[in-house]
Chain A
Amino acid sequence: MSLQQDTRKEPSFYEVKKHKGIFAWLLSTDHKRIGLMYLYLIMSFFVIGAVLGLLMKLELIAPNKTIMEAQTYNGFFTLHGIIMIFLIVIPGLPAVFGNFFLPILIGAKDVAFPRLNLLSWYIYVLGAIIAISSQFAGGGPPDTGWTFYAPYSFKTSTNMLPAVLGAFTLGFSSILTGLNFIVTIHRMRAPGMTWMKMPLFPWTLYGTAWIQLLATPVVGITLLMTVGERLFNIGFFDPALGGDPILYQHLFWIYSHPAVYIMILPAMGAISEILPTFSQKTIYGYKAIVISTIAIAFVGYFVWGHHMFTSGMSGIALYVFSILTFLVAIPSGVKIFNWISTIYKGSINLRTPFYWAISFIFVFMIGGLTGLVLGALATNVHVHDTHFVVAHFHYIVFGGVGFAFFAAIHYWFPKMYGRMYDETWANMGWLIFFIGFNTLYLPMFVLGMAGMPRRYFDYLPEFHGGNIISSLGAVVMIMGLIIIIFNLFRSAKIGPIANKDPWHGKTLEWTIDSPPSLENFEEDIEITEGPYEYE
Chain B
Amino acid sequence: MSQDAHTDEHRDDIGSRFGMWLFIFTELLLFAGLFITYSVFRYKNWQAFHLAAEELDVFIGALNTVILLISSATIAMSITALQQKRKILSLSLMGFTLLVGVIFLVNKYFEWSLKFEHGLYPGSETLVDLGKGEVLFFGLYFFMTGLHALHIIAGLVFIGIVFHRVFKDRITHDNFVHLENAGLYWHLVDVIWIFLFPLFYLIT
Cβ contact of B3, chosen from A18, A216, A243, cutoff 8 A:
A18
Residue pair B135, A241 in contact (C-beta under 8 Å): yes
Are B32 and A233 in contact (CB-based, < 8 A)?
no
Within 8 Å by CB of A251, from B4, B15, B33, B128, lies: B33
Is A221 within 8 A of B31, CB to CB?
yes
Selected from B23, B36, B147, the residue in CB contact (under 8 A) with A224 is: B147
Query: Are B122 and A233 closer than 8 Å at their CB atoms?
Result: yes
Q: Does A244 contact B (CB under 8 A)?
A: yes
Chain A residues lying within 8 Å of B19, measured Cβ to Cβ, are 112-113, 116, 179-180, 183
User: Is A30 in the interface zone, CB < 8 Å from B?
Assistant: yes
Interface set of A (CB-CB < 8 Å, partner B)? 16, 18, 28-30, 109-110, 112-116, 175, 179-180, 182-183, 186-188, 213-218, 220-222, 224-225, 228, 232-236, 241-244, 247, 251, 518-519
- Given A217-B27, A244-B40, A251-B36, are A186 and B122 also a contact pair (CB < 8 Å)? no
CA distance A431 to B147 in the complex (A): 52
- Taking A228-B143, A241-B128, A242-B132 as contacts, is the C-beta distance between A218 and B33 under 8 angstroms? yes
30 contacts between A and B (CB under 8 A): A16-B3, A29-B4, A109-B6, A109-B10, A110-B10, A175-B23, A179-B19, A179-B23, A179-B26, A183-B22, A187-B15, A214-B25, A215-B29, A216-B26, A217-B32, A217-B33, A218-B29, A218-B30, A221-B32, A225-B143, A234-B123, A234-B143, A235-B136, A236-B37, A236-B139, A236-B143, A241-B135, A241-B139, A242-B136, A247-B37
Contact B143 A242 (CB under 8 A): no
Which residues does chain A contribute within 8 Å of B6, judged by CB atoms?
A: 109-110, 518-519
The chain B residue sitting closest to A519, CB to CB, is B6
Contacts of A216 in B (CB 8 A): 26
Docked pose: A218 CA to B23 CA in angstroms: 14
Report the separation of the CA atoms of residues A215 and B30 in the bound assembly, to the nearest whole angstrom: 9
Minimum distance in angstroms from A160 CB to a CB of chain B: 18
Q: Are A29 and B122 in contact (CB under 8 A)?
A: no
Q: Is B174 an interface residue (CB 8 A)?
A: no
User: What is the distance, in angstroms, from B36's C-beta to the closest C-beta of chain A?
Assistant: 7
Chain B residues contacting A114 (CB-CB under 8 Å) are: 7
Give the interface SS of chain B, mostly helix, strand, loop or mixed: helix
Within 8 Å of chain A (Cβ to Cβ): is B172?
Answer: no
Contact of A187 with B12 in the complex, beta carbons under 8 Å:
yes
B1 in the interface, Cβ–Cβ < 8 Å?
yes
Distance (whole angstroms) from the CB of A220 to the closest CB of chain B: 6
Given A110-B6, A236-B136, 7 more contacts at CB 8 Å?
A: A16-B1, A218-B33, A225-B33, A234-B143, A236-B140, A241-B139, A243-B136
Query: Which residues of chain A are near B101, meaning CB under 8 Å?
Result: none
Chain A residues with CB under 8 Å of B139's CB are 228, 234-236, 241
Contact check, B18 vs A187: say whether CB atoms are below 8 A apart.
yes
Known A183-B18, A232-B122; contact A175-B1, beta-carbon cutoff 8 A? no
Contact of B123 among A29, A186, A233 (CB under 8 A): A233
Contacts of B40 in A (CB 8 A): 244, 247
Total inter-chain residue pairs, C-beta < 8 Å: 122
Bitwise interface map of B from 90 to 130 toward A, beta carbon under 8 Å scored 1, else 0: 00000000000000000000000000000000110000100
Query: Which A residues lie within 8 Å of B135 (CB)?
Result: 235, 241-242
B61 within 8 Å of A (CB atoms): no
- The one of B10, B22, B132, B142 in contact with A241, judged by C-beta atoms closer than 8 angstroms, is B132
Q: A235-B135, A251-B36 are in contact. Are A217 and B29 (CB under 8 A)?
A: yes
Q: How large is the interface on B (under 10, 10 to 19, 20 to 34, 35 or more residues)?
A: 35 or more
Minimum CB–CB distance from A403 to chain B (whole Å) comes to: 31
Q: Please, how many angstroms separate the alpha-carbon atoms of A497 and B15 in the complex? A: 39
- Contact partner of B18 (CB less than 8 A), chosen from A186, A218, A242, is A186
Inter-subunit contact B12/A112 (CB<8 Å): yes
Given contacts A187-B15, A218-B33, A221-B34, contact A115 B7 (CB under 8 A): yes
Choose one: B1, B26, B122; the contact of A518 (CB below 8 Å): B1
Known: A234-B143, A519-B6. Contact between A218 and B32, CB under 8 A? yes
Residues of A within 8 A of B10 (CB): 109-110
Q: With the chains together, A110 CA to B1 CA distance in Å?
A: 14
A182 to B21, CA, bound (A): 12
A215 surroundings in chain B (CB, below 8 A): 29
User: In B119-161, which residues have CB < 8 Å from any A CB?
Assistant: 122-123, 128, 131-133, 135-136, 139-140, 142-143, 147
State the CA gap A530–B12 with chains docked (Å). 26
Our pick among B22, B122, B133 for the contact of A179 (Cβ within 8 Å) is: B22
B58: min CB distance to chain A, Å: 24
B45 at the interface (CB under 8 A from A): yes
Q: How far, in whole Å, are A502 and B14 apart by their CA atoms in the complex?
A: 38
What is the bound-complex CA distance between A113 and B18, given in angstroms? 12
Q: CA of A215 to CA of B143 in the docked complex: distance in angstroms?
A: 21
6 tightest Cβ-Cβ pairs between the two chains A and B: A242-B132, A221-B33, A234-B139, A217-B29, A217-B30, A233-B123
> A213: which B residues are within 8 A, CB to CB?
22, 25-26
**CA separation between A18 and B132, bound complex, in Å?**
60
Cα separation A220 to B27 with both chains bound (whole Å): 10
CA distance A214 to B34 in the complex (A): 15
- Asked if B3 and A28 sit within 8 Å, CB to CB, the answer is yes
A452 to B154, CA, bound (A): 50
Instruction: Determine if A225 and B37 form an interchain contact, defined as CB atoms under 8 angstroms apart.
Output: yes
On chain B, the residues within 8 Å of A28 by CB distance are 3
Q: Which residues of B contact A186 (CB under 8 A)?
A: 15, 18
Q: Which residues of A contact B132 (CB under 8 A)?
A: 235, 241-242
Contacts of B12 in A (CB 8 A): 112, 187
A-chain residues with CB within 8 Å of residue B1 when the two chains form the complex: 16, 518-519
Which residue of chain A has the shortest Cβ distance to B136 in the bound complex?
A242
The CA of A241 and the CA of B128, in the complex, are separated in Å by: 8
Which A residue's beta carbon lies closest to that of B32?
A: A218
Measured between beta carbons, the chain B residues less than 8 angstroms from A18 are 2-4
A114 to B7 alpha-carbon distance, docked (Å): 7
Minimal beta-carbon separation of B203 from chain A (angstroms): 19
Residues of A within 8 A of B133 (CB): 242
